[in-house]
């Protein structure tokens, strides 16, 4: 009964490949996010998506694209992978509501590009 | 431009001592200030959070102190235990006009080690 689950947990791939990371939440939340944690552990938001609106961090390359088949899923597609894309990617979700509330994070996907 | 600045980068505290981590923010539109705890190989998990209408919030051994005029907030861990050894992140977010919130803007993290 994991709240936010990501697959795979580890992903090793070659430069130039296209890959996807899947995320599912069973909390009934309206908003989902993708965060990137670099080698220095710095966490930075990449996208937020609330089933109606996609907010993209302007620093994210357009090789990255979120895709949401339904409210409970937000997958991350990455095209033409580069060495610098190596990082841990976290999916998260939170209720929309009127006030900010807790964001629940998945366990992360460690992506290694070789 | 780093909107949330966190210090120190690393901290070593003796068991039973008080751990203090500080954060400062720049965007006055921020209205939610959580602290997250992350263990190796795990995702961040909410520890405690505060909104700017209060100056302090306490949950068990964890206390947030908030100074709106100085745009600063801090985490105090009382009676620190070896199990508290983890990376701690402060964060901030603001509401969006259409409802909901922007994603979290994180500080760079503090690696806390509690020595037995």
Q: Does residue A98 carry a pLDDT above 60?
A: no
> Which residue in A57, A35, A102, A78 sits closest to B106, CA to CA?
A35
Identify from B23, B29, B44 which residue to disrupt to test chain A contact, counting A C-beta atoms within 10 A and taking the largest count: B44
For residue A101, what pLDDT band results from cuts at 50, 70 and 90?
Answer: confident
Instruction: Read off the pLDDT of each residue in A57-81 and give the average, rounded to a whole number.
Output: 91
Contact present, A26 and A7 (Cβ < 8 Å): no
Q: How far apart are CA A76 and CA A20, in angstroms?
A: 5
Using CB atoms and an 8 Å cut-off, which of residues 11-70 of chain B contact chain A?
31-32, 34, 36, 38, 41-46, 49, 51
pLDDT at A100: 66
In tens, the pLDDT along B25-57 reads 999 999 999 999 999 999 999 999 999 999 999
C-alpha triplet A31, A73, B102: angle, nearest 5°: 20
Q: Which residue of B has its CA nearest to A42?
A: B108
In tens, the pLDDT along A21-62 reads 999 999 998 889 999 999 999 999 998 888 667 877 778 999
Instruction: Read off the pLDDT of each residue in B78-84 and give the average, rounded to a whole number.
Output: 98
- Residue in A48, A96, A100 nearest the CB of B31: A100
The single residue listed with the structure tokens 């966490």 is A43
Instruction: Read off the pLDDT of each residue in B77-106 and give the average, rounded to a whole number.
Output: 88
Average pLDDT, chain B: 94
CB contact under 8 A, B99 and A106: no
Q: Which residue of A has its CA nearest to B46?
A: A102
Q: How far apart are CA B103 and CA B88, in angstroms?
A: 18
For residue B100, what pLDDT band results from cuts at 50, 70 and 90?
Answer: low
Which of chain A's residues have a Cβ under 8 Å away from the Cβ of B32?
99-101
- Residue in A43, A50, A102 nearest the CB of B100: A50
Q: Which residue of B has its CA nearest to A105?
A: B43
Q: Is A75 at the interface with chain B, CB within 8 A?
A: no
CB contact under 8 A, B43 and A107: yes
A-to-B residue pairs, Cβ atoms closer than 8 angstroms: 77
Give Cβ neighbours of residue B92 (< 8 Å, ≥ 6 apart).
B3, B4, B25, B27, B30, B32, B33, B104, B105
């Amino acid at each position: 009964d994991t709240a936010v689950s990501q697959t795979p947990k580890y992903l090793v791939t070659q430069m130039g490949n296209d890959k996807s990371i899947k995320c599912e939440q069973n909390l009934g939340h309206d908003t989902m996010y993708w965060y990137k944690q670099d080698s220095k552990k710095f966490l930075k938001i990449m996208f937020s998506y609330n089933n109606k609106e996609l907010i993209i961090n302007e620093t994210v390359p357009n090789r990255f694209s979120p895709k949401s088949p339904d409210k409970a899923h937000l997958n991350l597609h990455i095209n033409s992978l580069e060495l610098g894309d190596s990082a841990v990617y976290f999916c998260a979700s939170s209720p929309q509501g009127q006030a900010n509330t807790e964001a629940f994070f998945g366990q992360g996907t460690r992506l290694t590009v070789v | 431009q780093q909107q949330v600045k966190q210090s120190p980068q690393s901290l070593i505290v003796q068991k039973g001592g008080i751990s203090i981590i500080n954060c400062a923010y720049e965007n006055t539109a921020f209205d939610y200030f959580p602290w997250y705890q992350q263990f190796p190989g795990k995702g961040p998990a909410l520890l405690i959070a505060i909104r700017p209408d209060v100056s302090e919030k306490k949950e068990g051994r964890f206390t947030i102190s908030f100074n709106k005029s100085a745009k600063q907030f801090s985490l105090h861990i009382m009676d620190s235990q070896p199990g508290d050894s983890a990376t701690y992140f402060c964060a901030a977010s603001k509401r969006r006009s259409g409802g909901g919130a922007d994603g979290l803007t994180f500080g760079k993290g503090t690696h806390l080690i509690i020595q037995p």
